[in-house]
Amino acid sequence: MKRYFDTYLRSWKNNKRHKPLIIRGARQVGKTYSIDKFGRENFKYYLKVNAEQDTGLKAAFQSKNPQLIITELSALFGIPVVEGETLLFIDEIQMIPEAIASLRYFYEQMPALHVVAAGSLLDHTLNELNYSMPVGRVEFAYLFPLSFEEFLLANQQKGLLDYIDSFDTGSRYSGAVHQKIIEFLRLYFFVGGMPEAVQVYTETNNLIEVEKVHSGILTSLQYDFAKYGSRKQQEYLKDCLLYAARNVGKKVRYVNINKNVHSAYLKEALSKLEMSRVLHLVRRTKSSKAPINQYVDNNVFKPLFLDIGLICNVAKIKLTDIHNLVTDFEGALAEQFVGQELLASHEFYEDAKLYYWLREAKNTNAEVDFLFQMNNSIYPVEVKAGKTGTLKSLQLYLAEKRETTGIRFNLDLPTVGKELSAVVNIKGDQRKLTYNLISLPLYFAAFLKKKLKTAVQV
C-alpha cells in the first residue's frame, strides 16, 4: 500500500541536516511496516533491533559513546553500520529509556548516521523519562491510520483522487463522479484506515474478515492496559475507551462514563488513552483570532477515536451488507471522519491538535464541530451526515465573532454561497448577518486548506 509517509521518510534521508527521527503513533498504524520498507529500499544496509524482543540490548545502550553502541549492535546482528549507507532502526524503544537518551549522542558524534526509533507506547515513556531528553537533537514525526486518499489509492482509484485534487471550487462538479466517491466513502466508514484492515479488504473484498481484524486490534489495545497500573486503573481505561467510541463528538461528562468512579480517575484514564494516541481529545477554545490555541479550556473536550472502522466494531455494527445499512450513528461517523482527515492532513512533523467552539448559555446553547486555522484566519466548520441541516450554531459563531466565512461538510456537491443572509439572536439582540458559506463534500476534508484558498477568491 502506498503511504504518503514514505515520501516524508525519503526527504528526511536526503536532508543533510537530518537528526535521529522518533516516529510516534498508535499501535498498528503501520510504523514498523513503513520503516522496514524504507530501510530495505533506500539503504545498502538495514539494521533493525527490537527492544522488546531482543534480550541483552539494554547493556549495549549503557555507553554514551555511539561508536561503541553500533560496534556492539553490528557484532550482535552481523550487519555493517556505515554512515550514509546504513539505517539503524530501534523498534519499541520505550522499553529501553537509555536508548532514547543515546539519540543525543548519535546526533552530536555521528550526525551522518541515519537513526530511526518508534514505539507504540512511546509517549508514556517520553512523559516519564528520568534521563535528560535530547531536546533539539532529535526530530519527531507522527503517523495516523490510512487517510481516505490513501484508501482510494489502495483500491486502485487514483482517477477519483486526481479529480478531487484538481477540482476548482468555481467549476462544475460531476454528479456521477461524486456518487462514485460516495460509495467508497461509505466503504471507508466501515473498513476504516488501519493498514491490516485495508489490506485484508483489498485482497479479499470480505467484510467479515475486516471485522475479525478490527476485533483483534481492539483486543490488543486492551491488552496494553495491563501496562498501565492496577486492575482498577485498567477497568477505568476500558470504560473510557468504550465510552469514547460510542460518544464521538459529544462533550465528555464523567458521570456518563461511570457514575461510581471519581472524575479524577477517569480524567487520568482519558489522558493515558490520549498519550497512547488511541483517542484524540478535541478541546474547546474561545479563540477567534490566531493563534487558535490562545484561549483553550483543557477541562472541556470531546473525543475522537483512533479509527472510524474500529468505532463500528465497538458499536456492534455488522458489516454483512453495508450498502443497505443505515444507522443512528451516521452523524457521529461523519464527525469522526472529518476529524480523522483533518488530523491526517497536517504535516508529518506536526503534533496535530483539533479544537471546537462551545457556547453554554441560557436559551443560546451552540456548538461548532471544529475550528480550522489557515494562515492567521480561523474558520468555523460544521459537519452534516446528509445533504441538509440547519446552520444556527455556525451563524451564531460568525455573528458573535464578527467573522464572515463559514465551512460546511455534507454529502452534497460543492458550492460557494456569497453574501447569504440570516438573523441571529445574541442575548436577546437580533443581529442581521451577511456571510459566505463554503459547502464541500465530506471527502474534501483532507483538501480543506487547498480548496479554501481558491474558494475565498471565487
Domain boundaries, position 228: 148-347
Q: In this structure, is residue 352 part of a structural domain?
A: no
Residue 360: the pLDDT is 83
Q: Are residues 225 and 314 in the same domain?
A: yes
CA dihedral defined by 297, 301, 307, 309, rounded to 10 degrees? -160
* Sites in the chain below the pLDDT cut of 50: none
User: What HEC string does the chain produce?
Assistant: CCCHHHHHHHHHHHCCCCCCEEEECCCCCCHHHHHHHHHHHHCCEEEEEECCCCCCHHHHCCCCCHHHHHHHHHHHHCCCCCCCCEEEEEECHHHCHHHHHHHHHHHHHCCCCEEEEECCCHHHHHHHCCCCCCCCCCEEEECCCCCHHHHHHHCCCHHHHHHHHHCCCCCCCCHHHHHHHHHHHHHHHHHCCCHHHHHHHHHHCCHHHHHHHHHHHHHHHHHHHHHCCCHHHHHHHHHHHHHHHHCCCCCCCHHHHCCCCCHHHHHHHHHHHHHCCCEEEEEEECCCCCCCCCCEEEEEEEEEECCHHHHHHHCCCCCCCHHHCCCCCHHHHHHHHHHHHHHHCCCCCCCCCCEEEEECCCCCCEEEEEEEEECCEEEEEEECCCCCCCCHHHHHHHHHHCCCEEEEEECCCCEEEEEEEEEEEECCEEEEEEEEEEEEEHHHHHHHHHHHHHHCCC
**Final residue of a structural domain among 318, 347, 376:** 347
15-26 pLDDT tens trace: 999 999 999 999
pLDDT of residue 129: 64
Question: Is 423 inside any structural domain?
Answer: yes
Whole-number pLDDT of residue 430: 86
242 and 331 share one domain: yes
Last residue in a domain, options 323, 347, 371: 347
Residues 105, 156: one domain?
A: no
pLDDT score of 175:
96
The last residue of one of the domains, among 97, 125, 142, is 142
Q: Is residue 163 one of the residues assigned to a domain?
A: yes
> How confident is the model at residue 408, as a pLDDT?
96
Q: Are residues 172 and 279 in the same domain?
A: yes
pLDDT tens-digit readout, 326-344:
666 888 999 999 999 999 9
